[in-house]
Each structure stands twice: as structure tokens, then as C-alpha cells.
Amino acid sequence: MKMRWMTLLLTLGWALATGYQVQGEAVYQARAPLGAFQGVNPTLKGQVVFDLTKGQLQGRVCLDLAAWDSKEPLRDRHTRDMFQVDRYPQACLTVAGYDAQKGLVQGTLSLHGVEKKVAWPLRYTLAEGGKRVNFEGEFELLLSDYGLKAPTFMGMRVQDRVMVRVKGQGVAQ
């Protein structure tokens, strides 16, 4: 009888920890002396496991750095050069947790060969009885923190501080 209860509890625990296939986009907003501009990247993909009972979040989500589109081909080429996409084709966030009280996703960002612990605001909503999760967040990123040299054009340099917005959804597996 004791074994049945343990099996039931383990089964319920696994049912509450749900794996999600994640996809979405990232948008950067940057500033230069002549104004602001943005680029969109629709390649956000990965897998996470979210345990509703404990509020735990783990997984890995990556972005193809060659896929930025600012509607300006020369700017996009400079962006790819800055990221050195032939050497560092992806940026990946290894998710290590979620602080529900502060609304922060925690993890390690790997970008341009540099790994740095991060904690970024992230909001989420569950839909379809937990079969789908929608998320969005916004954070600042300093290019210099990852050894990136901001691009220049006609002697004007893009600012080191860039705003990044992510949004997407996860579908339960």
C-alpha cells in the first residue's frame, strides 16, 4: 500500500513539471548619434521544464545571431560582423530558475564566447490548461560585458547599452 502512494505522488509530481518546446523572437533597440533603430530576430528556440508546484524553471533557449533584420542590409552586416557569427553563431540562455516574487528568470547567458550570470524580468501566462505558456520580457544588455565592440558607421558608434525585448510561447510536450 505504501508503494502505491509513493508511485502516485511521483506520478503527480511529474505531471506538474511540464516540458515546453519554446519559440519566439527577440528585438533589439540601439542608439547612435543620429537616432535609434531596432532589429528583429525570429529564431528564439529551445526547451524548458516548468514545475508549477515549486515555481522552478530549467532549460536552454538559443538565438541564431545571423538572423537579425533591421531592414537595413549594411547595418545587419555590421551586426553579424560584431557578433562574429562564423565563430559564435548563437547566443544561448541556460535557464536555472525563476524568482516568482520578483518576476525574474535566472540563468547564464553565453554570448560571443563569454558566459555571464543574468537575472531578467519575465512575465508569463498559462493558457489552455497549462498546455501553452506565453512569455515576454525586456532587459538591458551592455555589449562590452561580452567583449563586443559596438559597430561604427561614418565615424559614429552605436551606444554600448542595448535594450532587448523577447516574447514567445512554449507548447507542452
User: For residues 42-52, b (16+ Cβ closer than 10 Å) or e, as one string?
Assistant: bbbbbebebee
Burial class (CB in 10 A: 0-12, 13-18, 19+), 12: exposed
Instruction: Give the mean pLDDT of 116-123.
Output: 96
Q: What is the structure's pLDDT at 16? A: 59
| Per-residue pLDDT tens over the stretch 129-151 | 889 999 999 999 999 999 999 88
Cα 59 to Cα 48: distance, rounded to the nearest angstrom: 4
**Does the pLDDT at position 5 exceed 80?**
no
The topology (CATH level 3) of 17-172 is Lipocalin (2.40.128)
Q: What is the structure's pLDDT at 98? A: 92
Q: Give the three cell numbers for residue 106.
A: 535566472
pTM given for the model: 0.86
| Per-residue pLDDT tens over the stretch 38-92 | 999 999 999 999 886 777 899 999 999 999 999 999 999 999 999 999 999 999 9
Q: Which residue is listed with cell 549594411?
A: 74
More confident residue, 1 or 57: 57
CB 157 within 8 A of CB 151: yes
Domain ranges (residues) in the chain = 17-172
Q: What is the structure's pLDDT at 151? A: 84
